[in-house]
Amino acid sequence: MDINRQNFETYFIDYLDGRLDPGQVAELLSFLGKNPDLERELKEFENIQIKPREILFPGKESLRKTISDIPVINESNFEEYCIAKIEGDLRAKDEVILEQYLADFPGKRKDFELFAKTILQPDTIFFKDKTSLKKPYAGLMIGRRTMWAYVSAAASIVILFILFIGTDWKLFQKKNQLALSETESSNQKTELVQKNIVPPESEKITEPGNKELISNKEKPVILKESGDNRELSNFILEHSQIETLTTEKSPRRDLIIEKTLEKLEPKGIIQVKQPVLLADLRFSREIIGEQPDKSGFLTIRQFAIREFKSKVLLEDEEKINPDRFSVWDMADAGVKGVNKLVGWNMELDKIYDEKGIITALAFNSGTLAFNTSLK
């Protein structure tokens, strides 16, 4: 920007403050040479300068303090200093000041000593039951049910071994069908012998809602199986007692067996030469031939079953049937025991077809799952 008569004052002020660069100074001097009146005005500017006067405050001495006058410790903050001292929070110079204060005011030392006495000394109290808090190095949880858990684990291994490896499933299937006396068991070569000829349709067992009674009159039925030397003889059925058996829509074949056993009154000797289906085995009174105890007391076996279901299966004691204990109960307990021990979530289930026949066993551990077909 060039200097002219409208902006020269700004240049003058910057020149006097020394803020113009050499080029601008040369330009300013050239401008002043062309405008002598303004050169005189600039000299007048240079003469205007305020010199500072030396003015002193007369009361300095009255404001001065000595070290003893500094209010570091006083009545209001003395306790705070004492507590800071016993807590170890005081800096070294503050400790010196506190000691000086206590020396100056001996009456305060007793208060300080009382603060020093408030530091608690621990009692000789020990926790004696440390072993109950400790854990085994294997990481297993030790609890009240440890024994049951170990027993369950051992049982589960045995049951799983039996169920998956050591069982003749085909034999079970055939026995199962034999026990149900189904007419469609022709593929197993079962021969139905009837003393008084019974029409095939009369043997169809009705559903509960149908109430279709068997038309044949109270004729005993003898089941014979031609193969495997298996035979059910002298097994007399009271047809009038068979009212609610189902053949097609029942979801659980083992329930059918139970109902059948409840409804039937054996009039002869039951001879089962081969094991009944293991997976559906019930150690019931009827099968093992134990007579009911009419005294009202539990037998040793009933007591054991009740304790097992209560302690291991965690069943409601009021709902426990001490007369019934299946292999599946044991397997269930075993799986629960292993789950408790190792923290898994294994499941073992039976898989039925639409006719209620067990077709497979399913095992699922969360990370590993597989089915084992029984056919």
Which residue type sits at 306?
A: R
Taking CB under 8 A as the binding criterion, the range among 35-43, 44-52, 118-126, 187-195 that sits at the site for other proteins is 118-126
- Residues from 87 through 106 that contact other proteins (CB under 8 A): 87
- Asked if 132 touches other proteins (CB under 8 A), the answer is yes
Instruction: Give yes or no for a contact between 16 and 46, defined as CB atoms under 8 angstroms apart.
Output: yes
* CA within 13 Å, CB half, 148: 17
Query: Shortest CA distance to 288 belongs to which of 304, 305, 301?
Result: 301
Which residue type sits at 267?
A: K
- Asked if 168 touches other proteins (CB under 8 A), the answer is no
For other proteins, the closer CB: 57 or 127: 127
- Asked if 353 touches other proteins (CB under 8 A), the answer is no
Taking CB under 8 A as the binding criterion, the range among 67-75, 125-133, 247-255, 359-367 that sits at the site for other proteins is 125-133
Count of chain residues binding other proteins (CB under 8 A): 27
Query: Shortest CA distance to 230 belongs to which of 256, 191, 281, 186?
Result: 191
Options 56, 70, 74, 137; binder of other proteins; rule CB under 8 A? 137
- Asked if 363 touches other proteins (CB under 8 A), the answer is no
* Residues comprising the chain, all counted: 375
- Asked if 114 touches other proteins (CB under 8 A), the answer is yes
Taking CB under 8 A as the binding criterion, the range among 27-35, 80-88, 283-291, 352-360 that sits at the site for other proteins is 80-88
End-to-end CA distance of the chain: 107
CA–CA separation, 216 vs 237, rounded Å? 12
Options 51, 53, 64, 117; binder of other proteins; rule CB under 8 A? 117
Q: How far is the CB of 150 from other proteins (least distance, A)?
A: 19
For residue 370, the surrounding DSSP H or E stretch is: strand 369-373
- Beta-bridge partners for 351: 360
Interaction site with other proteins (CB under 8 A): 79-80, 83, 86-87, 111, 114-115, 117-123, 125-127, 129-130, 132-137, 139
